[in-house]
Amino acid sequence: MQAYRTETIVAPDGSLVIKHLPLSAGEIVEVIILVQEQHKKGVKNYPLKGTPVTYHQPTDPIAPEEWGALQ
Protein backbone atom coordinates (compact mmCIF):
# COMPACT_ATOMS: atom_id res chain seq x y z
CA MET A 1 0.00 0.00 0.00
CA GLN A 2 1.33 3.40 -0.99
CA ALA A 3 0.97 6.36 1.37
CA TYR A 4 0.78 10.03 0.44
CA ARG A 5 0.87 12.84 2.96
CA THR A 6 -0.70 16.25 2.65
CA GLU A 7 -2.03 18.89 5.03
CA THR A 8 -5.21 20.86 4.70
CA ILE A 9 -7.55 22.90 6.88
CA VAL A 10 -11.14 21.97 7.66
CA ALA A 11 -13.60 24.36 6.04
CA PRO A 12 -16.20 26.18 8.18
CA ASP A 13 -18.85 23.71 6.99
CA GLY A 14 -16.71 20.78 8.26
CA SER A 15 -15.62 19.56 4.82
CA LEU A 16 -12.13 18.73 3.51
CA VAL A 17 -10.88 19.22 -0.03
CA ILE A 18 -7.70 17.43 -1.10
CA LYS A 19 -6.34 18.47 -4.49
CA HIS A 20 -3.51 17.29 -6.74
CA LEU A 21 -3.37 13.66 -5.58
CA PRO A 22 -1.03 11.44 -7.62
CA LEU A 23 -3.84 8.94 -8.29
CA SER A 24 -5.92 7.90 -11.25
CA ALA A 25 -9.66 8.50 -11.38
CA GLY A 26 -11.60 5.52 -10.00
CA GLU A 27 -8.86 4.22 -7.68
CA ILE A 28 -10.08 2.99 -4.30
CA VAL A 29 -8.44 4.72 -1.35
CA GLU A 30 -8.58 4.54 2.43
CA VAL A 31 -8.71 7.86 4.27
CA ILE A 32 -7.34 8.25 7.80
CA ILE A 33 -7.57 11.66 9.47
CA LEU A 34 -5.00 12.63 12.11
CA VAL A 35 -5.62 15.86 13.98
CA GLN A 36 -2.46 17.84 14.77
CA GLU A 37 -2.09 19.43 18.17
CA GLN A 38 -1.94 23.19 17.95
CA HIS A 39 0.81 24.79 19.99
CA LYS A 40 -0.59 27.34 22.38
CA LYS A 41 1.15 30.70 22.36
CA GLY A 42 2.93 31.52 25.59
CA VAL A 43 3.22 27.89 26.71
CA LYS A 44 6.83 26.86 27.14
CA ASN A 45 7.96 23.34 26.27
CA TYR A 46 10.78 23.62 28.81
CA PRO A 47 9.45 25.67 31.73
CA LEU A 48 12.73 25.47 33.71
CA LYS A 49 14.95 26.52 30.80
CA GLY A 50 17.02 29.54 31.77
CA THR A 51 16.27 29.15 35.48
CA PRO A 52 19.41 29.78 37.54
CA VAL A 53 20.89 26.77 39.32
CA THR A 54 22.59 27.19 42.68
CA TYR A 55 24.71 24.45 44.26
CA HIS A 56 25.04 24.53 48.03
CA GLN A 57 28.31 22.91 49.22
CA PRO A 58 29.02 21.22 45.87
CA THR A 59 32.25 19.54 47.03
CA ASP A 60 30.79 17.85 50.14
CA PRO A 61 30.11 14.09 49.94
CA ILE A 62 26.48 13.29 49.19
CA ALA A 63 26.02 10.55 51.80
CA PRO A 64 29.17 10.10 53.94
CA GLU A 65 27.48 7.40 56.07
CA GLU A 66 27.07 5.17 53.03
CA TRP A 67 30.83 4.92 52.31
CA GLY A 68 31.26 2.33 55.09
CA ALA A 69 28.86 -0.04 53.30
CA LEU A 70 31.20 -0.23 50.31
CA GLN A 71 34.16 -1.55 52.34
Q: What is the tens place of the pLDDT at every residue in 11-60?
A: 999 999 888 888 899 999 999 998 887 766 666 778 888 889 888 888 88
Q: What is the pLDDT of residue 15?
A: 93
Buried b (16+ CB within 10 A) or exposed e, 3-15: eeeeeeeeeeeee
Nearest residue to 9 (alpha-carbon basis) of 24, 22, 19? 19
Look up residue 7 and give its amino acid. Answer: E
Q: What is the pLDDT of residue 2?
A: 85
Q: What is the pLDDT of residue 71?
A: 61
